[in-house]
Chains A and B, each alone.
Chain A
Amino acid sequence: MPEILLQTVDVMKHFPITEGIIFQKQTGAVKAVDGVSFSIEKGKTLGLVGESGCGKSTLGRLILRLIEVTSGEIIFEGRDIAKLNRRAMRELRKDMSIVFQDPQASLNPRLPVGMAIAEPLEVFGVAKGSEKRERVKELMELVGINPDSLNRYPHEFSGGQKQRIGIARALALNPKLIVCDEPVRALDVSIQAQVVNLFQDLQKQFNLTYLFIAHDLSIIEHISDYVAVMYLGKIVEYAPSVELYANPKHPYTKALLSAVPVPDPDHKPDRILLEGDPPSPANPPSGCRFHTRCKYVLPECSVEEPPRIHFSDDHWAECYLYK
């Protein structure tokens, strides 16, 4: 039985919508994450895909408890981190880290990169003086940045280099889990491949577990062991990467996959075009959230939430089509 590192149980995050300035009253809630359950095995990568605004990044931040959950459990190594006190949570931050999507914005422009990488070491007091310096150099070497440039400022580096520095910082405390929040989104395609390869090398080297958030399906296919497809705050399909790409079940997954460009001019794609925009997460459709845009819509779809259908041990989708 593989060891489960991280598990979420029915995690919800509702951002309140308030009206009024002095006498605020809550008039609604944006259901950014609305009942998400998944688990990641140690040393594996779970890819999380979905279009903009579906709650992917919110989920990533919830797992690191950068924002508080509304309800549900986030179990990391057997402990529900949503219920930990401040001090215990701080200790746990050694074991989990995050790589942000915008390397430019996620590095303090007034802090030399060496100090940015050293920050986690300082916060936990694990290394001081020359030992700290050596560790920073080692980390820079690990991600392919010249260790001599540790006194330089972030604006002196290119986007790809900045993201490598962000990765070095995330690695500083030998974490077990790294949440990668669209880490290659802001990079050129050629640099994207290098950074993704770096992620894979590091995973092999340190037995890291990734939650890899992206909206680029080809990158997810490349890096993930499992893929979860998210739509409007919910996971609609979950499967091993190979299985999902070969045999997608949920109509939304099919639509996403049909939109992936294929580098073959003779390829006549069987495009499934989604009509309209995703509905507002403040007021999601009743029943299956996708029924407003689904071309296989059935009468029951708008009435009740669809059941979870298992196609194999680790492949499921929530859809009435397979009932």
Chain B
Amino acid sequence: MTSTPENKTTSTHAPQSVFGLIPTLKRISKSRSAFFGMVVVLMLFLTAGLASFISPHDKAMQYRSAVKVPPMTRIPWSEINAEFEGVPAGQFQPARSNLFVLGTDKFGRDILSRILYGAQISLIVGVLAEVIALLIGVTIGAMAGYFGGLLDSLLMRLTDTFFAFPSLLLAIGILAVFEKPGLFTVFVALGVVGWTSIARMVRGTVLSVKEDDFVEAARAVGASDSRIILRHILPNSLAPIIVVGTLGVASNILSEAGLSFLGLGVQPPTPSWGIMLAEGRNLIQSSPWICIFPGLAILFTVLGFNLLGDGLRDALDPRLKVQ
């Protein structure tokens, strides 16, 4: 070979990837609000994962001696032990504390423990519904954007039709189809409702990415359509999908709380924040803590996911590289 190869080794310092995990985290932690969101979301996942280890009381144990006690009420151990007499061992988790940090509800259940367990429900519903929504939305959006033409028109009109329904009403309609409401039906309903905006966004991104040279290069070597979409177009459309997915989790958590509040979602005695709100709403004047704390849990969770989503939007924007 007569041509002299250019310097064969490339630069040794770390690549300036826009998308890598570490640089993304670095950029998120630069913004105070995004960092706050990330911490809240991480704590939420920890809480949900460790609920059975850190909750001071059983999520369903009803203390007759501690009905509607305000926050920071301490019940003598003797009374607590008396409550467990006659209850078959293993039916309830034994009390780890005699303090009711956030008070109890009208059945005498510990609110803090129920909020910790409620995080599991919120996360399962929020994340799984978003996974379903992403599967439907990305598939439809990518096909519409990539193939174009008649298929694009058909799929987008379908999306518009779904988009035109008030989403909570549509979810209620879908829930009505199932015989028994429950965890599974809730996230399926929310997933089926939530894909429309994802499909539109993915279609737009695919429309722009498919004009890139590397897509034509893949076509020139005979790559199939599915290979081009999965290998070339979608990996390059990931940033907006991650952002929309994160924001979607927040709205799913909110919708789940709403549905459960209406009695259409998760069924009691499962500790869902929406159910806790519903159960406490008649007592809001006499025992406000029954409503306030689950409400705050919803507020901070949704706020956390939204701030994280906004932070990711900034962090994944390739026009804003690391300074």
Contact = CB atoms under 8 A, between A and B. Distances in A.
Interface of A: 61, 64, 66, 90, 93-94, 97-98, 100, 102, 105-111, 119-120, 123-124, 144-146, 149, 152-153, 155-158, 160-161, 164, 166, 169, 172-173, 191, 194-195, 197-198, 201
Nearest to B214: A108
Interface in B1-28: 1-6, 8-11, 15-17, 19
A110 B216 CA distance: 16
Contacts of B10: 149, 152, 156-158, 161
17 contacts: A61-B216, A66-B220, A108-B231, A108-B235, A110-B235, A119-B231, A123-B227, A144-B3, A145-B8, A149-B10, A155-B16, A156-B10, A156-B15, A161-B10, A166-B217, A201-B1, A201-B3
Contacts of A100: 213, 216-217
Contact of B214 (A106, A123, A158): A106
Which of the four size classes fits the interface of chain B? 20 to 34
B239 to A, nearest CB: 11
Given A105-B214, A110-B19, A145-B8, A120 B222 contact: yes
Main secondary structure of the interface of B (DSSP, over half): loop
A120 to B, nearest CB: 4
B216 A66 contact: yes
Given A106-B213, A108-B236, A161-B6, 12 more contacts: A102-B213, A105-B212, A106-B214, A108-B231, A110-B235, A119-B221, A119-B231, A145-B8, A158-B10, A160-B6, A161-B10, A201-B2
B232 interface: yes
B74 interface: no
Contact of A153 (B5, B15, B223, B224): B15
A98 B227 contact: no
Q: Which of A98, A106, A149 has the most CB of B within 10 A?
A: A106
Interface string B153-164: 000000000000
Given A152-B10, A156-B10, A97 B5 contact: no
A102 B2 CA distance: 24
Contacts of B235: 108, 110-111
A111 B4 CA distance: 26
A146 B9 contact: yes
Nearest to B3: A197
Contacts of A102: 213
Q: Which of B6, B19, B212, B227 has the most CB of A within 10 A?
A: B6
Nearest to B212: A105
A170 to B, nearest CB: 8
B223 A146 contact: no
